[in-house]
């Protein structure tokens, strides 16, 4: 499909699908022509940085990334390891482990909740909100979409109330957490206002949880599919980082992004009109034979590996160091505990039904 139809118009969803690496790359690197600003805002990501263009995007990202540096993420390592140990200790060791439920879902949720400074007793609520904002429609019907919209609107109100309370508390009594850092962060004398902080907190829920869950499950799935890989990683533990990069390329947790043309523009031989919606398929770009030799083969030590699983350009994923660290720690601890990871008997793959994310609903391993 990518070779014969590198670009196609989807008449149902009324958008241009872009499949080749080079085209996706060119779209993502040119925010002046391919904007991230949505013409219609949904209730969830009304005005967070993911839906902004330069120069406002750079300014806002500058403020939040100060509270989100690779160094501060690196310091979370020991805590991520102890959460992983605790979660795995709680799993009954006889029989199969439901990896999605037991580890891959709760780990990122707990990490983000702790990062933000959410009290432990509120974590369940936090997970429900997190699910509600990323949940897709059961079908494409109008009623279904409307129901989803109303549900998200309700969640949005609950989240606003919840975070505004926490922000007010941190303004009075600072703590060692991300909300306090966001309250205090300043660039050129400018701070974030309360609603901007709320938007960013919600973005972390939406962008950071399911994606990381899928990176962890896709990694363990690959190990269970290919026992030789487990032996390679056992002999050469340093390969874990390139293994994770290859999982990101091969089973990209995020499949597609969206942009809007700010003017009439040509991609390849295709004319795209101002205002039209463009879907850069990073999942497809990451398998493009013109960019990756043997693109459909999983090569644990592939180098270089310029995949775009975390996007590219000005919106490159702010949480990439955190996602990589969580996956690395989870895999290290899991493979110390289970030396020969296999799928449980009668386990059946059920891919998540979504055009945007790639993962499995359940992963039963022994």
Positions touching ligand HEM (CB under 6 A) are 36, 49-50, 61, 112, 203-204, 207-208, 211-212, 215, 253-254, 257, 309-311, 315, 317-319, 322-323
Q: Is the peptide bond before 61 cis (omega within 30 degrees of 0)?
A: no
What is the closest distance, in whole angstroms, from the C-beta atom of residue 164 to ligand HEM in the complex? 20
Nearest to 177 by CA among 138, 204, 155, 146: 204
Report the residue number whose CB is nearest to ligand HEM: 319
Burial code of 298-317, b = ≥16 C-beta within 10 A, e = fewer?
Answer: bbbebeebebbbbbbebbeb
In the complex, the smallest distance separating the C-beta of residue 172 from ligand HEM, rounded to whole angstroms, is 26
Reduce the DSSP state of residue 80 to 3 states and report it: helix
- Give the nearest distance from C-beta 295 to ligand HEM in angstroms: 18
Residue closer to ligand HEM (CB basis): 179 or 207:
207
Smaller CB separation from ligand HEM, 6 or 311: 311
- Distance from C-alpha of 18 to C-alpha of 265, rounded to nearest angstrom: 14
Q: What is the dihedral of CA 177, 178, 181, 183, to 10 degrees?
A: -110
Q: How far is the CB of 272 from ligand HEM (least distance, A)?
A: 18
Q: Closer CB to ligand HEM, residue 96 or residue 323?
A: 323
Calpha distance 266→275 (Å, rounded): 13
| Min separation Cβ 257 and ligand HEM, Å | 4
Nearer to ligand HEM by C-beta: 26 or 36? 36
Provide the 3-class DSSP secondary structure of residue 303: coil
Looking at beta carbons only, is 229 or 244 nearer to ligand HEM?
A: 244
**Rounded Cα distance, 69 and 64, in Å:** 9
In angstroms, give the least distance from the CB of 269 to ligand HEM: 25
Residue with smaller CB distance to ligand HEM, 3 or 122: 122
């Amino acid at each position: 499909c990518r070779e014969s139809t590198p670009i196609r118009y989807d008449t149902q969803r009324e958008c241009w699908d872009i499949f080749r690496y080079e085209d996706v790359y060119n779209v993502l690197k040119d925010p002046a022509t391919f904007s991230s600003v949505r013409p219609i805002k949904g209730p969830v990501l009304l005005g967070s940085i993911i839906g902004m263009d330069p120069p406002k995007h750079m300014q806002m990202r500058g403020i939040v990334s100060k509270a989100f540096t690779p160094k501060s993420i690196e310091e979370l390592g020991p805590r991520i390891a102890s959460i992983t140990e605790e979660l795995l200790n709680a799993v009954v060791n006889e029989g199969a482990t439901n990896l999605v439920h037991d580890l891959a879902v709760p780990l990122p949720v707990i990490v983000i909740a702790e990062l933000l400074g959410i009290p432990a007793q509120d974590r369940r609520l936090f997970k429900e909100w997190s699910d509600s904002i990323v949940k897709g429609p059961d079908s494409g019907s109008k009623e279904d979409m409307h129901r989803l919209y109303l549900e998200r609107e309700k969640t949005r109100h609950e989240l606003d109330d919840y975070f505004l309370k926490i922000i007010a508390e941190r303004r009075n009594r600072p703590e060692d957490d991300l909300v306090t850092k966001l309250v205090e962060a300043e660039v050129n004398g400018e701070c974030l206002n309360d609603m901007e902080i709320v938007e960013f907190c919600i973005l972390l829920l939406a962008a950071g949880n399911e994606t990381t869950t899928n990176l962890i499950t896709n990694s363990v799935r690959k190990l269970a599919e290919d026992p030789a890989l487990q032996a390679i990683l056992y002999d050469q533990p340093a390969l874990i980082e390139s293994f994770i990069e290859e999982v990101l390329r091969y089973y990209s947790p995020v499949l597609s992004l969206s942009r809007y043309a700010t003017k009439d523009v040509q991609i390849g031989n295709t004319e795209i009109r101002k205002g039209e919606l463009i879907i850069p398929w990073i999942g497809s770009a990451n398998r493009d034979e013109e960019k990756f030799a043997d693109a459909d083969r999983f090569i644990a030590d592939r180098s270089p590996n310029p995949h775009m699983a975390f996007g590219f350009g000005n919106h490159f994923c702010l949480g990439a160091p955190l996602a990589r660290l969580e996956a690395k720690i989870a895999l290290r601890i899991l493979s110390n505990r289970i030396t020969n990871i296999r799928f449980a008997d009668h386990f059946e793959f059920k891919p998540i039904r979504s055009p945007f994310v790639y993962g499995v609903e359940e992963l039963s391993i022994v």
